Chains A and B, each alone.
Chain A
Amino acid sequence: MTMTTSSTSTTTTRTSGSRLGYRFNVIGIIGLSVILCWALVAIFAPLIIPYPVGEIVDLDYFGPMSSDFWLGSDYLGRDMLSRILMGARYTVGISLAAVTIACFSGVVLGMIAAVAGGWLDTLLSRFLDALNSIPSKLFGLVVVAAVGSSIPVLILTLSVIYIPGAYRFARALAVNINAMDFITVARIRGESTLYLIRSEILPNIAGPVLADLGIRFVFIVLLLSGLSFLGLGVQPPYADWGALVRENIGGLPFGAPAVIFPSLAIASLTISVNLLIDNLPQKIRDRA
């Protein structure tokens, strides 16, 4: 009996990691590995770049791919590969910091609103709805134009823009969980709000919240690239991927690799994150 079942399970489903009690399909693994690659690049960028980021090294501008400059050179003749590798720090780093702040504050506030209810819920919801009604790009533009662009300002601006969405999402999930009997049981046991949100609600909404975090990460990467494209993101000589596209947009008529490759880098990261969150590892419940 056990012989036959184990052989059917390996032939009928394409899974890996099922020995750990989790099912993780191939597409999810691909997504995760691309993200991990970019994360490693971001961490070790200064060690692996072939040329300094700000230095003009090519005699030509919008140079083609060659053995010296693997991804060609930009509009000033700087090495594109180095600039993309360094750009990963800003794109991945700023976005990650912003998405962490946005989702953490949004989810905590959302759960508190759902559990506490009443005037606190009303107040929070209306305030964040008001924030939500401001167009995100315009909000970013105004703040950065007023305060000036620096990395902390960018991180804070991006997170403030995405807090209302995370809040709404978490509150909607938490309200459903809050109506369950086990919450009532905990309440009449005399538990505090902190215990309710941490131990009773959070474990039940963690899955969707993580998926939401993935989507929000993608939005933030795109918004950051958009801001940089408008010249309000990371300031020269450093550049994130969006800024790289903007400064090299003049090379588009020549089909220069300098504009193609940063675009591909953005696409690879955002698509991988989406693939991963759609194919998160799932726990196998059938342990027989």
Chain B
Amino acid sequence: MANLVEIRDLKVEATTDSGRRVEIIKGISLDIADGEIVALIGESGSGKTTIALTLMGYARPGCRISGGSVSVAGKNMVALSEKERARVRGTEVAYVPQSAAAAFNPAATIMDQVIEITRIHHLMSPDEARAKAVDLFRALSLPEPETIGTRYPHQVSGGQLQRLSAAMALIGDPKLVIFDEPTTALDVTTQIEVLRAFKSVMKAGGISGVYVSHDLAVVAQIADRIVVLKGGEMQETGTTEEILSDAKHPYTRELLDAFEPKPRGAVGAAEPAPAPLLKIDTLVAGYGPRQADGLPLVRAVKQVSLKVEKGRNLGIIGESGCGKSTLARAIAGILPAVAGNIAFEGRELGRSARERSREQLREMQIVFQYADTALNPAKSIEDILDRPLAFYHGMDRRARSARIDDLLDMVRLPRNLRHRRPSELSGGQKQRVNFARALAAEPKLILCDEITSALDTVVAAAIIDLLKELQRELGLSYVFISHDLSTVQAICDEVVVMYAGEKVEQLASSELASGAKHPYSKLLFDSVPKLDTGWLDGLDQRPDLTRAFSKTG
């Protein structure tokens, strides 16, 4: 019997705003058997989502399927009329989007949206559909399956919403489900539950799947076969075991290497200094109006104390909402702390950036997560890097121009990039510019707020290597905030674990896995996916612990 999906020599092209045509998928051929889950993996821009969408006969606006055939269950999706495609979507092929929060309509109840597919395609009566939806909720191990459907999307957590969007996809009994990076936006602890739920439902129903991701470790848990893509071409394909243990293609090797960054080598004892570089004492920060006791309504950071020695790096780790970014903002003076002290090289700093001198501001720089919003889109790279040089150092035009070249060299960007605007750079390049701007101030300490989280594994690993190198050359210190344990481990000497605004534990980065004592730290470290196909199944987590620390309600 023929395979469920047969893609033959698929080509997709896009038209740019000057009317030029660019081929973004260059002749892909791919088969998916019944009940098989195939992962499409590659960096952003490699065409993985584009290929997945062609399985529904869909190309994004400005794109066009220009050649080849995509046959799903015997139907060629390319040749079908739009009306026939609409009939296939939802019943034979279904789609789970990356951001479930954006895919749900906030004004309708979850149940109405989940059973919408059965109504559109006249599959069953509303009552039957509701009963089936409840079964699916149960199979996806959602809490309170009978009543969760009556809630609105904002009343459930992100991980639950992602599982609900899977229920929405599965209710039409599709033969093929497309998962488009469904866990990328989730915390590691939540990601596990979602992956587990997906896997059990797919196995039980014998449903084929396409799983789009850039995270090799996640894919290893769920996929039978992996297809590695780059630049719209297939680089390598093989069973998950083969790819993980015996990757042939250099790009695949690079992906695998990027997954396990070299741990930071032991650093000699810190130079004896009269005072630590940064010392924070019982810092409290938060949002909302002040209460009677003088503290804000929502306290995002509660009594945190920590210390950074010169030339050493401190990692701060925790799930989203644990207050780690607020801590960084309080240290930088963006969000003035309401209590506690911040001392830099033994000198007390003002709580708000306004109260600090220009010199104090220069010595401590902050780099934000999203380079897209941290770089002014209306300015050229040159202008962006030029300003701190003129502002802090008062250099003349020629000195600034030479220094911009130096800075671009430092962050390994070609010099001719200086005339471009941020929108004309890739994500990794933007983050380098973002970092170069901080370096332009010649700081002593750089606060890195999730700077690699929005980047692909390979690009993130390159940024981490760059940070280490610059530290060796310039004697910087970093406070490195992340939810990704492996990156923190790669660059930091000490790691602080935060949970619900409090510092739970502080560990040396070498003893992270073994030395964790607090149950939350243990759960966090256990939840990081390993490059091992049996990891998820073999994982023995205490469900009561997971529940206690997950924010599901």
Assembly CA distance A15 to B368 (angstroms): 39
CA distance A13 to B423 in the complex (A): 24
The verdict on A122 contacting chain B, using a C-beta distance below 8 Å, is: no
Q: Which residue of B lies closest to A182 (CB)?
A: B376
Find out whether the CB atom of B18 lies under 8 angstroms from the CB atom of A187. Answer: no
- The answer on a CB contact under 8 Å between A182 and B17 is no
**Contact across chains for B379 and A181 when beta carbons are under 8 A apart:** no
B370 adjacent to chain A (CB < 8 Å) = yes
* A286 B379 Cβ-Cβ under 8 A: no
Q: Which of B21, B374, B378, B388 has the most CB of A within 10 A?
A: B378
Is the C-beta of A264 less than 8 angstroms from some C-beta in chain B? no
Is the beta-carbon distance between B353 and A200 smaller than 8 angstroms? Answer: no
Q: Are A23 and B373 in contact (CB under 8 A)?
A: no
Which B residues, 434 to 449, have Cβ-Cβ distances below 8 Å to chain A?
Answer: 437, 441
CB pair B388 A189 closer than 8 Å: yes
B332 within 8 A of A: yes
Chain A residue with the shortest CB-CB distance to B20:
A5
Does A37 belong to the interface (CB within 8 Å)?
no
**Contact mask A144-181 → B, CB, 8 Å, 1/0?**
00000000000000000000000000000000000011
Asked whether B19 lies within 8 Å of A182 as measured between CB atoms, the reply is no
In angstroms, Cα B334 to Cα A285, docked, is: 34
* Chain B residues within 8 Å of A13, by CB: 18-19
CB contact list, B285-325 vs A, under 8 A: none
B185 to chain A, nearest CB (A): 19
Q: Which residues of A contact B379 (CB under 8 A)?
A: 199, 203
Would you call the interface of chain A mostly helix, strand, loop, or mixed?
A: helix
A18 contacts partner chain B, Cβ-Cβ < 8 Å: yes
* B329 closest partner in A (C-beta): A184
A8 at interface, CB cutoff 8 A: yes
On whether the beta carbons of B368 and A185 are closer than 8 Å, the reply is yes
Evaluate contact between B376 and A284: CB separation under 8 angstroms. no
- Asked whether A138 is an interface residue with its Cβ less than 8 Å from the other chain, the reply is no
A190, B353: Cβ atoms closer than 8 Å? yes
Given contacts A190-B358, A191-B391, contact A185 B374 (CB under 8 A): yes
Contact partner of A286 (CB less than 8 A), chosen from B20, B353, B377, is B20
Cβ–Cβ contact B17 & A200, under 8 A: no
A16 touches B (CB below 8 Å): no
Chain A interface residue number, banded: 20 to 34
Q: CB of A9 within 8 A of chain B? A: yes
Which residue of chain A lies nearest to B360 when distances are taken between CB atoms in the complex?
A190
A188-B16 contact, Cβ under 8 Å, with A181-B368, A182-B373, A182-B376: no
What total of A-B pairs shows CB separation below 8 Å? 77
Whether A9 pairs with B353 at a CB distance below 8 angstroms is: no
Interface residues on B, range: 20 to 34
Beta-carbon contact of B378 and A286 below 8 Å: no
Whether A204 lies near B378 (C-beta < 8 A) is yes
A67 part of interface (Cβ distance < 8 Å) = no
Q: Does B25 contact A (CB under 8 A)?
A: no
Q: Could you give, for residues 255-288 of chain A, a 1 whenever the CB lies within 8 Å of some chain B CB and a 0 otherwise?
A: 0000000000000000000000000001011111
A9 CB to closest chain B CB, in angstroms?
A: 4
Q: Tell whether B88 is near chain A: CB-to-CB under 8 Å.
A: no
Q: Which of B19, B353, B377, B437 has the most CB of A within 10 A?
A: B19
Write out the residue numbers on chain A whose beta carbons fall within 8 Å of the beta carbon of B17. 23, 282, 284-286
Please encode chain A, from 9 to 46, with 1 for each CB lying within 8 Å of some chain B CB and 0 for all others: 11011010010000100000000000000000000000
Q: How long is the Cα–Cα vector from A184 to B353 in the complex, in angstroms?
A: 11
Contacts of B21 in A (CB 8 A): 5, 8
Do the beta carbons of B366 and A188 come within 8 Å of each other?
yes
Who on chain B is nearest to A204 by CB? Answer: B378
Within 8 Å CB of B361, what residues of A? Answer: 188-190
B261 at the interface (CB under 8 A from A): no
**Additional 4 contacts, C-beta under 8 A, given A187-B334, A188-B366, A191-B391:** A9-B20, A12-B15, A23-B17, A187-B353
On A, residues with C-beta under 8 Å from B are 5, 8-10, 12-13, 15, 18, 23, 180-182, 184-191, 199-200, 203-204, 206, 282, 284-288
Report 18 cross-chain contacts, Cβ distance below 8 Å, ordered by A residue. A5-B20, A12-B19, A23-B17, A23-B18, A180-B374, A181-B373, A182-B375, A185-B374, A188-B332, A188-B333, A188-B361, A189-B361, A189-B391, A190-B391, A191-B391, A206-B378, A284-B17, A285-B423
Q: Give the 9 A-B residue pairs with the shortest CB-CB distance, closest first.
A: A203-B378, A9-B19, A286-B16, A181-B374, A13-B19, A181-B373, A181-B368, A188-B353, A12-B19
